Amino acid sequence: MEVWASALSKTRTLLKQVFSPSVGDVDELNTEDLEEILLRSDVPVRLVMEIVDQLDSAPRKISRKEILRDLLLKELGATTPFSWPIDKTPFVVLLLGINGSGKTTTAAKLAKRAMQHGHKPMLCGSDTFRAAGSSQLKLWSEKIGCDFVGGEMGADAAGVVFNAIDAAFIKGCDPVIVDSAGRMHTKTPLMDELPKMCRSMDKRHAGAPHEVWMVLDASLGQNSVIQAQQFNTVVPLTGIVITKLDGSSKAGFLFSVRAELNVPILFTGLGEDEDDLVPFNPEEFVDALFGDSERG
């Protein structure tokens, strides 16, 4: 897929230093270089060691590239493509993450995708920390043409999400996509607000939020996994969205997400526009890393 190929160009440039076009040829592979490059693109150390071991012990006639591809795919695990359930009316997704990770943009992109699949989404702007927090999402809702409920600066975020679900019931909106304020995983009072928001949603609509997705900035690499672990202890995560994969040379950290969080990667952001969000596809991702995506 073309989008993956260009988005992963930075990480791929690293890998291409190891894999020449005739990659199957064992003599072309320098395991030490590969090890260094995988580590530089933030592939977890444990996995790099496993790869090096397997490559060293594999029969010489087996393509090194295929061994590597299989190991990387195995690490990502099977992914079930996400589709909007229609039996929760409304289905509620809470997006969270640290400052600037891409939550607001992702909320808009998700709403656009939901509309393309025939749904009537509502965007909820619960970022009441900053004056622009909620209005930024309101502008997006006007651009893509969907309903919006937000809160003034300083308003109680738990109250805003309650109101949004309330409005979704009245207007027949489904899903409700809740954008939240950016918060550092180390700031206790702000982190405490998240379970409060969840309780408020559940009060208005038992079972909500149905999904809690952490939005991770790919350019932060391995650090973002540590952040996600912290968020996960405060509100259990059900999915991950990786943003800014288009500008990152650290795409290798995706291999840690599954192993260390055991939460599926559902979508990836490959640009700043509302259409730049694609479902995560492990095969396309791995092939794009090698520059093979043209073939499929």
106 touches Mg ion (CB under 5 A): no
Q: Which of 11, 41, 101, 104: binder of Mg ion (CB under 5 A)? A: 104
174 binds, among Mg ion, ligand GTP, none (CB under 5 to 8 A by kind): none
Strands 277-279 and 92-96: unpaired
If 0-12 CB within 10 Å is exposed, 13-18 middle and 19+ buried, where does residue 172 land? Answer: exposed
Given ligand GTP, Mg ion, none, residue 121, with its beta carbon under 5 to 8 Å by kind, binds none
What distance in Å separates the CA atoms of residue 16 and residue 25, rounded to the nearest whole number? 14
Within 10 A of 85 (CB to CB), how many other CB atoms are there? 12
Sole binder of ligand GTP in the list 182, 239, 252, 291 (CB under 6 A) = 182
Does residue 195 belong to the site contacting ligand GTP (CB under 6 A)?
A: no
Range 22-81, binding ligand GTP (CB under 6 A): none
**Part in contact with Mg ion (CB under 5 A); list of ranges 82-90, 100-108, 210-218, 285-293:** 100-108
**Segment contacting Mg ion by CB under 5 A, of 7-15, 104-112, 208-216, 281-289:** 104-112
Q: Please report whether residue 150 would count as binding ligand GTP according to CB under 6 A.
A: no
**153: which residues sit within 8 A by CB, 6+ positions away?**
128, 129, 130, 131, 133, 134
Site for ligand GTP contains 99 (CB under 6 A): yes
Give 62 or 184: the residue with its C-beta nearer to ligand GTP: 184
Nearer to ligand GTP, 7 or 14 (CB): 7
CB of 191 to Mg ion, least distance (A): 17
Residue type, 18: V
Which amino acid type is present at position 26? V
- From the list ligand GTP, Mg ion, none, partner contacted by residue 100 (C-beta under 5 to 8 A by kind): ligand GTP
Token pair listed for 204 = 């208005």
User: Rule CB under 6 A: which residues touch ligand GTP?
Assistant: 97, 99-105, 127, 133, 182, 243-244, 246-247, 269-272, 276
The binding site for Mg ion (CB under 5 A) comprises 103-104
